[in-house]
Amino acid sequence: MDHHLAIALSLTASVSFAFFSIVARKALGATTPYVGAVIGLAIGIPILGGLSLVYSDWSGLTYEAALWFFVGGIFAPGFSRLLLFMGYRTIGVGRTMPLVTITPFLATLVAIAWLGEHPNLAVWVAIFFVTGGCLFLTVKPEGDSDWRRIHMIYPFLHAFMMAFVNTSRRYGLLLYGDFIIGALIANAVSLPTLLLLAPALPKAERFRMDMRGLVWFTVAGLINMVAYIAFFAAFQYGEVFIVMPLSYTAPLFSLLLARVWLREEEKLTWQKWAGSALLFIGTAIIALASA
């Protein structure tokens, strides 16, 4: 395994996810989270399909590996991305992104039980930082009435879902080491899965969009595809407990970008900064110890 390449790909994914979250937040003023998720998946399929024709060897794909890519695709990127967009809309980028950073710790637990990975003591020390960060982020400052705690269910559901999905990706890539094919299968399964979910959503949360929303989500979809490919590829070269913490350092970049571009939409309180800092320290401890 090439841990240096895994680290580079994970950090690339992190920065790209941060840019994506800001652009997506802008787009949500003109359309729904559901439309954004559908557009992102529709953009990804032809891109990944073209890359697979040029760089991949389909003849080596095993049924077992394809099955795990398929199972992961049922939940992500489609359904999990919808949950992420709902979080952006209801509680904002600055709170959603730090909350989903509990995913690396959940994924580490799954990887220990499933894949037999052996992270060091730093993982457990970092959990305390994550817990403290989450507590800070649940505090509603005086006058902050534009969000409800119940809406925190969106990033938390996203976190639990991605913990399982990303461990299954690692397992699939151990069986068949071609991240392009793995990402393509997952993406191709996610799109019809997401379309089937439409009737379960309120009508106001289904298809509603103007040209401005289409442009913003097209840009967001392209940025997210870069992040998605880098993130998926990292699992081919490194363990879950290395890839996940580094990839989920995006909240720091998200808060910095939100400060610049979302000043009128995002209230960046000291609780957000403190919570994000604790979460970032927790992930950094794991990253440094793993490297």
Percent of the chain with pLDDT over 90: 37
**pLDDT for 262:** 62
Please name every residue paired with 31 in a beta bridge, in sequence order, or none if there are none. Answer: 209
CA distances from 161 to 149, 166, 262 (A): 20, 9, 28
For the packed helices 211-237 and 3-27, what is the interaxial angle rounded to 10 degrees? 160
pLDDT tops 60 at residue 17 = yes
**pLDDT for 169:** 96
- Give pLDDT tens digits for 28-52: 777 887 888 888 889 999 999 999 9
Domain of residue 204, residue span: 3-290
- The span from the CA of 197 to the CA of 83, in Å, is 12
**pLDDT for 266:** 56
**pLDDT for 256:** 74
CA proximity to 85, closest of 31, 47, 165: 31
Q: What does pLDDT average to over the chain?
A: 84
**pLDDT for 101:** 76
3-state SS string over 202-243? CHHHCCCECHHHHHHHHHHHHHHHHHHHHHHHHHHHCCHHHH
- Give pLDDT tens digits for 235-244: 999 999 888 8
Mean pLDDT of 204-223: 82
Worst-scoring range by mean pLDDT, 148-162, 253-267, 273-287? 253-267
**pLDDT for 186:** 95
pLDDT tops 70 at residue 142 = no
Query: How many distinct structural domains can be found in the chain?
Result: 1
DSSP 31: B
